[in-house]
Structures are given as C-alpha cells and as structure tokens.
Amino acid sequence: MASSPKEYNVYKSVERQFNKAAEKMGLDPDVRAILSKTNTETVVNFPVEMDNGEVRMFTGYRVQHNNVLGPYKGGLRFHPEVDINEVRALASWMTWKSAINEIPFGGAKGGITFDPAEVSFRELEHISRRFTYALGNVIGPEYDIPAPDVNTNAQIMAWILDTYLLMQPTHERARCMHVVTGKPIESGGSLGRDRATGQGVVYCIEQWATDNKFDLKGSTYFVQGFGNVGSWTAKLMKPHGAKMVAVADATGNFVCPDGADPDELIAYMDKQARERDELRKARQEDKIRALGPIGVKGYPGLKEVDKATFLATKADIFVPAALENQITNETAKTLNVRLVAEGANGPTDPDGDEILWSRKIDVIPDILCNSGGVIVSYFEWLQNKRSEYWKVSDVVSKLKEKIVGDEQQPGGYLRVRDAAKEFNVDWRTAAYVVALRRLEKVYKERGIWP
C-alpha cells in the first residue's frame, strides 16, 4: 500500500521553524547545511498474511535525522496519514528535544501507513513483528531505539523487543533489552514511562503558572486528544484544582462547561477496553470493529460540537495532544486561551505561530512541552543497560530536573525561557536556538571528517 502525499507537508513547517531560528542566532552555515537534511531514510515494503488468508503489503518508514549527540531515538506511529514528510518532520523534532533537555540521544522516527483500528489484534502483532524484521539492523540498542507514538503502545513495544531479540545470536539477547523503550514493566519497561509525556506537560504548565503568577486552582483548560498524553495531562491537572471544560478525540469534539472528571473519563474508556478484550478472547473481532474506536463519546455531560466551536472554547489553557496542523492561519485567530501547552508534535504551523505571537498567547512548544516521553525513555534505557529498577518517585523527580530544573541547574524549560529573553523571540524559536546552539558546539568541537 503506497502512501499518498498529503496536501499539508509538515516538513515544510519544520524547515520554516528551523530557518527562522538559524537566522536569529546566526547559526554556522556548515552546521545549518548538515542539520537541514536527514542522515538516512529507510522505506520498507513488507507482506503480512491477514486473518482471511490474503497477503497485504504494508509500507513502513524509519528516518534518522541526526546522531551527533547519541544514538537515534524516537517513536513509531501507526496511522493512515503516515508519509515520508511527516516522518522526516517528527525525526528532526526528536533531535531538538534531546538537545534541549541534554539527553544523549539523536533524533529518529518511524511508522507504518495503515489504520490499526481496521485490523485484528493478531494482525496487529504480525504487522509489528514483520516491520521489525524488515527494519533489521536499522534499529539497535546502541544505534536507534524506537518507542511508542500515535496508536502504538507498550504491547507493541513488547512484540518489537521480542522479534528483535529473536533475530540476535542467542548469547547477545540479554544485553539488547534497551533496543526499544516504552515497554511493559515486566518486559523491562520503566515505572513512570506511561505518564511521562503528560507529566512533563504538567511540569511545564506549573512552571509557567509560577512565572506568570497564575493560580491553577480554579483555572480552566481543554484537551484535544485523550490518548496517553491527553489523558495523563488531564489526570495530573486534577490535583491542581483545574477544570477540564472541553475534550476531543477520534470519537468527536465535546464541550463540558461544568467540567469533566478526568479519572471518571479514563475509567469510562478502560471499561470499553475491557469489553473489547473479552470479545477478543471470544475471537469476535468483527464485533470489536463494529464498536468503532474507544473514546470519550457517550460519557454523560459531554455535548458534541463541531471542531471550530471546540477550538474556540474559552479557557485559560489549551493542550493539543493529538496530531499536527491544528492551530493554523484560520484557527489561531479563534483560540480563546492564555496558554497553548503542546502535548502533540507539530500542532501549530508557522502561520498559526505568528498569529499566536501577535495575539500574545503564550506557547510552550512541543519540542520542550512533550519531551517528558523521551526523557523517561532515556531513564528506561539506562535502567536496562545497568539492570536496575528505579522507583517511580525517583523517575518523576529526575524528569522534573531535566525538563524544568532550577536556577542552579537549569533544565529544558529554564533554558528555553532564558533564550526567549536573550533573543527576544517566541518560545518555539527559542527552543530551536537552545537545541541548535548545543549541536553547533558539538560540530565545532568534533569537526567534519576528513
């Protein structure tokens, strides 16, 4: 199945973001030339036998943007809109994320172009395993380390781990557990990895609130996407006394002016997942497909609205936690919030950014705001390498040190905040500047061989 190029080329947005920051900071032209290209791009077409006995071809990608700071790192996305430009964009964002937070990783991303909701559990396993096999040595524990992203989860990481290990000589297997992160705990995952991205978003929001003398208690926010990132963000906003006044996911856009309880909403979705598990055990995959995607639709108190109304929800904070290209030339004008905290990758395009900047709406950009995921992936990778298990309290406190930090030891947030002041630029440009400065320094130190 070939991927059709989408109308919106998200890699063009990355180029605009990158060029803007490179100009502002006067990035060395040689380093600029290097970083404006991806290092390697792998496209694999591979067959999978489906439940009905037919063979279907799938197209998968792994783009490795840069590895000057360490092994390539980044998630795998299973989605019908995955294409080479999207994967390029996502791969380069990973390079910046690690550089901002001083994580010894480079940037990569991968994916397969298909809709996982349309295949059975067994088919999903076969697709994941055959993709891993097709990638072969493109990935590796010290070379390129995948993780979950949109529509992929700990179960899929366990299949990838298992397949990769079975491809290694028997005596090598035990030391390859860190070939993938975001694994189930029992299979070498880290405590706190599931909540990591949402936790990072909330740490950034907390620091923004402190800096702006803004009281989160009684504040309002809304979330687009109620998957791993959106639901954990909401769950962790609850203890602050903040109210979720709108929520959207694959099942629709909804407002809830009285506030929806994130824990109850999560329980509502867990119930749907359990129902599907039962049907799976009973081998009734057709019934699962008929039920459609798991989602927030049907939860009491949610009122369905169109997307434009949803995006115009009046609240203090908007957390986009779904896909790219949501805050654009059209929609940026309609946002009715003080802060956009980007849980998703690439939710705001460069035109949208300019409008938010002119409207004085603060933005905590994706490459900072959602970097909690890769930060805790780094902790998982370290634990596997050292055969250690860290306590969840240690994981989250180390995450906070990395993503926010303090005046003595600044983390990503403080570095970006300072660069925004120094260069008098929006926070996305500042985040690029922080990343590019670090990468530029390394290229200068190491030189270009020969």
**Cα–Cα nearest to 181, from 172, 171, 191:** 191
DSSP state, residue 68: S
Cβ at position 21, least distance to ligand GLU in Å: 19
Cβ at position 146, least distance to ligand GLU in Å: 7
The answer to the question of residue 111 lying near ligand GLU (CB under 6 A) is: no
Amino acid at 198: G
Site string for ligand GLU, 24-53 (x = CB under 6 A): ------------------------------
> Integer distance in angstroms from the first to the last C-alpha of the chain?
41
Considering beta carbons, is residue 147 or 363 the nearer one to ligand GLU? 147
The answer to the question of residue 374 lying near ligand GLU (CB under 6 A) is: yes
| Residue 243 a catalytic site member | no
Considering beta carbons, is residue 14 or 260 the nearer one to ligand GLU? 14
Binding residues for ligand GLU restricted to 57-76, rule: CB under 6 A: 73-75
Binding part of the chain for ligand GLU, among 210-218, 368-376, 413-421, 439-447 by CB under 6 A, reads 368-376
Binding residues for ligand GLU restricted to 318-347, rule: CB under 6 A: 345
Can you say whether the dihedral through the CA atoms of 158, 346, 236, 415 is positive or negative?
A: positive
| Helices 392-403 + 372-386 axis angle, to 10 | 130
The answer to the question of residue 141 lying near ligand GLU (CB under 6 A) is: no
| Helices 196-211 + 412-423 axis angle, to 10 | 50
Instruction: Give the residue, chosen from 35, 63, 124, 147, that forms a contact with ligand GLU under the rule CB under 6 A.
Output: 147
Cβ at position 349, least distance to ligand GLU in Å: 18
Place of tokens 């919106």: 8
Distances (CA, A) of 237 to 136, 233, 234, 412: 41, 6, 5, 21
The answer to the question of residue 223 lying near ligand GLU (CB under 6 A) is: no
For the CA atoms of 358, 359, 361, 366, the dihedral, rounded to the nearest 10 degrees, stands at -50
Rounded-to-integer distance, Cα 115 and Cα 276, Å = 17
Bridge partners of 410? 405
Considering beta carbons, is residue 74 or 192 the nearer one to ligand GLU? 74
Q: Which of 20, 73, 97, 109 is catalytic?
A: 109
Considering beta carbons, is residue 147 or 335 the nearer one to ligand GLU? 147
- Supply 324's token pair: 């790219």
Residues recognised as catalytic: 109
Residues engaged in binding ligand GLU (CB under 6 A)? 73-75, 147, 149, 181-182, 345, 370, 373-374, 377
